[in-house]
Amino acid sequence: MSLLEVKNLVVEFPGRRGTLRALDDISFSIAPGEILGVVGESGAGKSLTGAAIIGLLESPGRVASGEIRLEGQRIDNLSDAQMRHIRGRRIGAIFQDPLTSLNPLYTVGRQLTETIQAHLPVTAAEARRRAIALLQDTGIPAAEQRIDHYPHQFSGGMRQRVVIALALAAEPQLIVADEPTTALDVSIQAQIITLLKAICKSRGAAVMLITHDMGVIAETCDQVAVLYAGRVVEIGPVHEVINHPAHPYTVGLMASIPDMAQDRERLNQIDGAMPRLNAIPAGCAFNPRCPRRFDRCTVERPDLLPAGATRAACWLHAPEVAA
């Protein structure tokens, strides 16, 4: 059974000049103990998908249709008060910049213990013991002393570990990690990736990892969903998507990664840019940038079609074309 199931999710932003559809028919699921990577260029809808799941869409954004289910329970139609009980307790969040996630006026210990006591029926002493254990689990040395330090007294990598400890404080079933390694150097990135994988394995938690880095996806994830213009264009096992990309957009993303085995003066790039929400082209949204488009691509939008071991929203995999 899936721990998280997102089905036909549509997120819209009403405005004076009309309604903008930022997410259009997004569907995927994550099983317990599984890491799903969500990847794409800036503006693809990655962070917005995470915000919709957590229940933190900024006004006037709204879930216009579709469903989000956590362990079979629908959560997209809950009130703000009901979502506050789920957020933190059943869904944890790791954000990109730890400085904006931590209160500079409180020690990390106070922030951890207050989070634990808000969601679990424990005493202050027990909450502190759990907070120290969380800091130790996330690799912070001398946790008994560091728990009383303020965020500015930690390095960037250590602050990110504190944010991960906060996300784990109430033992959630699902963790939404939005670009958790972007602000970190390569060696610290590797440590955070290893930590996320260990958490997933030891706690049986599901992780939704939002990133633009295909290298992080390859190292961390079991499944990957590639987003473009608010739509899933390819989804499947990570090794299949990376080694045998089925959608031209995924092919372009993989080709843009530097290859250490080849000596090239210039990297490959995908011509053009992500379309604005008020100017998404008819048919396949990627068609203006696609080197393999044909007439049908410009008039009819493809659904996700079987493409080997993955599924891709591309007419190249329609039975009559693939044959």
Whether residue 139 is contained in a domain is answered as no
The structure tokens listed for 206 are 């599901």
Please count the structural domains in the chain: 1
CATH at residue 12: 3.40.50.300
Task: State the pLDDT at residue 260.
Answer: 64
Whether residue 95 is contained in a domain is answered as no
Q: Please name the residue ranges forming H helices in 32-123.
A: 46-54, 80-86, 98-101, 108-119
Task: State the pLDDT at residue 204.
Answer: 83
d(CA 176, CA 206): 9
Whether residue 247 is contained in a domain is answered as yes
pLDDT, block means (10 residues), the chain with 323 residues = 92 90 95 93 92 91 94 92 89 83 93 92 94 89 94 88 88 89 74 80 88 85 95 96 94 80 72 90 94 93 94 92 62
First to last CA, the chain: 34
Task: State the pLDDT at residue 264.
Answer: 66
d(CA 271, CA 167): 38
Whether residue 204 is contained in a domain is answered as yes
Give the domain extent around 246.
4-90+172-322
Whether residue 303 is contained in a domain is answered as yes
Whether residue 206 is contained in a domain is answered as yes
Whether residue 77 is contained in a domain is answered as yes
Whether residue 313 is contained in a domain is answered as yes
Q: What residues have CB less than 8 Å from 200, skipping those under 6 apart? A: 33, 34, 35, 206, 207
